[in-house]
Amino acid sequence: MDSTSAARRRINAIHSHLVASSRSSPLLLSSNPTAGEFYLDNGYSVVLPEKLSTGKWNVYRSARSPFKLVSRFPDHPDIATLHDNFEHAVHDFRDYKYLGTRVRVDGTVGDYKWMTYGEVGTARTALGSGLVHHGITTGSSVGIYFINRPEWLIVDQACASYSYVSVPLYDTLGPDAVKFIVNHANVQAIFCVAETLNSLLSGLSEMPSVRLVVVVGGLNESLPSLPPSAGVKVVSYSVLLNQGRSNPQPFCPPKPDDVATLCYTSGTTGTPKGVVLTHANLIANVAGSSFSVKFFSSDIYISYLPLAHIYERANQILAVYFGVAVGFYQGDNMKLLDDLAALRPTVFSSVPRLYNRIYDGITNAVKTSGGLKERLFNAAYNAKKQALLNGKSASPIWDRLVFNKIKDRLGGRVRFMTSGASPLSPEVLEFLKICFGGRVSEGYGMTETSCVISGMDEGDNLTGHVGSPNPACEVKLVDVPEMNYTSADEPHPRGEICVRGPIIFRGYYKDEVQTREVIDEDGWLHTGDIGLWLPGGRLKIIDRKKNIFKLAQGEYIAPEKIENVYAKCRFVGQCFIYGDSFNSSLVAVVSVDPDVLKSWAASEGIKGDLRELCNNPRVKAAVLSDMDAVGRESQLRGFEFAKAVTLVLEPFTLENGLLTPTFKIKRPQAKEYFAEAITNMYKELAASDPTAKKAL
């Protein structure tokens, strides 16, 4: 039976087992009392009657759209491509602020200066016309090689309107990876900034597909002219705009199934993989997200997460749909708080790493304030927490006395915060809700799913999960017997998260083998993440299939789970857990929180600079003891505890090659980077326990 008739059969089955609820919104459903066997009244999700090869009937869809997976915006079904989306915004929000940057006056950074949607639309047309003028043919790949700034989005919009494929070139991947991507994607035009021009030009001889280099922020007179034999023209961004204005070209609108972008994921090993995303993929994902995430044309969004990452790209597509103003940071994370104060955004998207820093900063400040201030904060916090749990509004006096000062750290107006890329601890999420007021939502997604797979629903006060499925996809859990995860697990079904629907990428560019490894014959994308279903149809991420390894005694270890536990330890800024099949225990490398370490050492009368403190046996013992306490609280199993620790000052970053652009640890690189420390820790363990196996 073909997939269409199978899908129709499933939909008919659902219809017979569900009835619309008359008590509330027609989008929400209640059980049909004549049919109970195949439908669970889960609140946020519904369970489809589909027999799987393993386990129970457990395909979940959003209760907001159970009969049909969303592929377009319900209010604007005519928007089928990124070009359509931007044209809609230019038409509806022409004179509204769109892209803003801070201007420098006499070397001092001042207020934000804005381009309207109409002005960006005009620049987009000139830019696309300029590329056509230079002979860049329809369907060609265009590289974008700089960090977030207005030109990034203008180039991206031009690519959409003239049927080019945008290819983000990570600023942090280094010249070798950039060269690989340019050649792999056959990039013909590259937009870069003056700072990266020389390194780009020095490698041009090894990038034969490149015909045009456009320098953003550079003066045309100072640009090098390459010999005709090079076959490459170098022009400034402003010159390209003028050339486009002088040679206007009609749009060449893409079709929904045309490729919109190649997003290269660095992964943790090997060469980057090009994720092929179509216009239909991206529109479907954002349209599904729009059911629960509502922006307004009065909203202001700060853009500082990497635009080369799908999380920020999806946010930008959603911002365009709703006519949001987007202000850019200066390009320096250390000055982000200053940018927030100047922009005063209403929407703030970030990753756990930054939210954890905010949490640590505020809680440490409260603890050190002591006395009346600490008691006042705790009273305010508990009162607001109790009100939230009861679904009520806390007294506004607590905001005036305590929380407004905290809100001012992010500009004072944030009404909606999102978190993605890695798990956010329930304690931090609750803390953000209480301290900043508005809605805080955690989501889960991948580049291969065009971003969001699931997200927390509005009004859901339960923490520790990533919400219900995006209405644009369906989700199932598949048994992983080697890790003891099955659909029969009590009290909750567990397994590998698999996703299907219009958000699934077309495949890895020029790589059928790796594509077949993750997408099965029924169209299910196997994410490699382990999840479980909580009551209410909420998804919780509990493990990672790909990163598991065995210890010498045969126990399976999921290091990311353990690292997330240890992240709650006050001394721990970042943590890398290591183990292998030659050793019976785990060891940890901890990048310490310098402020906490200094403060603790002073209180204990331990002298020395930070480097000396990191090497002090008494300090190491204290950190390990604190990690043990956190591990016991989180109910780690005996073999999951780190038995030795190395303390380092240097954080794990993109720059030192220890993190991916999505802030996940690159395990093979970290193993090599800390090889000496790992060897020394196992030697110490072997010396203290003669029965311990030695590391090879």
**Could you tell me the domains of the chain?**
82-327 (3.40.50.12780), 347-412+414-544 (3.40.50.12780), 549-689 (3.30.300.30)
Asked whether residue 12 carries a pLDDT value surpassing 70, the answer given is no
pLDDT at 626: 93
What does the pLDDT average to over 232-256?
Answer: 96
Asked whether residue 695 carries a pLDDT value surpassing 50, the answer given is no
The Cα 211–Cα 386 span in angstroms is: 62
% of residues, the chain, pLDDT over 70: 89
The two three-digit tokens of residue 280, written as one number: 């239909």
The Cα 36–Cα 28 span in angstroms is: 17
Alpha helices in 203-335 (DSSP H): 237-246, 279-289, 310-322
The two three-digit tokens of residue 310, written as one number: 């799908």
What does the pLDDT average to over 304-332?
Answer: 96
Q: Which of 273-282, 372-381, 427-436 has the highest mean pLDDT?
A: 273-282
Please report which confidence band the pLDDT of residue 16 belongs to, taking 50, 70 and 90 as the band edges: very low
Of 249, 246, 222, which is closest to residue 234 (Cα–Cα)? Answer: 222
What does the pLDDT average to over 298-319?
Answer: 96
pLDDT at 2: 54
The set of residues, in sequence order, having a beta carbon less than 8 Å from that of 647 and lying 6+ positions away, is: 590, 592, 613, 614, 615, 619, 620, 623
Report the amino acid identity of residue 102: R
Q: Give the chain's length.
A: 696
The Cα 104–Cα 110 span in angstroms is: 6
Which pTM does this prediction carry?
Answer: 0.79
Give the tens place of pLDDT for each residue, 437-464.
889 999 999 999 999 999 999 888 888 8
pLDDT at 174: 59
Burial of 446 (0-12, 13-18, 19+ CB in 10 A): buried
Helix (H, G, I), strand (E, B) or coil at 25: coil
pLDDT at 101: 97
Min mean pLDDT across 8-22, 107-121, 254-268, 613-627 is at 8-22
- Specify the higher pLDDT residue, 96 or 32: 96
Give the tens place of pLDDT for each residue, 515-530.
999 999 999 999 998 9
Please report which confidence band the pLDDT of residue 423 belongs to, taking 50, 70 and 90 as the band edges: confident
pLDDT at 696: 29
Asked whether residue 13 carries a pLDDT value surpassing 60, the answer given is no
Alpha helices in 93-190 (DSSP H): 117-133, 150-161, 174-184
Give the tens place of pLDDT for each residue, 116-166.
999 999 999 999 999 999 999 999 999 999 999 999 999 999 999 999 999
Min mean pLDDT across 209-213, 398-402, 508-512, 661-665 is at 661-665
Contact of 302 with 329, CB cutoff 8 Å: yes
Asked whether residue 388 carries a pLDDT value surpassing 90, the answer given is no
Please report which confidence band the pLDDT of residue 468 belongs to, taking 50, 70 and 90 as the band edges: very high
Residue 599 Cα distances to 369, 521, 574, 610, angstroms: 13, 57, 18, 11
Helix (H, G, I), strand (E, B) or coil at 474: strand
Asked whether residue 212 carries a pLDDT value surpassing 50, the answer given is yes
What does the pLDDT average to over 544-556?
Answer: 73
pLDDT at 10: 53
Please report which confidence band the pLDDT of residue 247 belongs to, taking 50, 70 and 90 as the band edges: very high
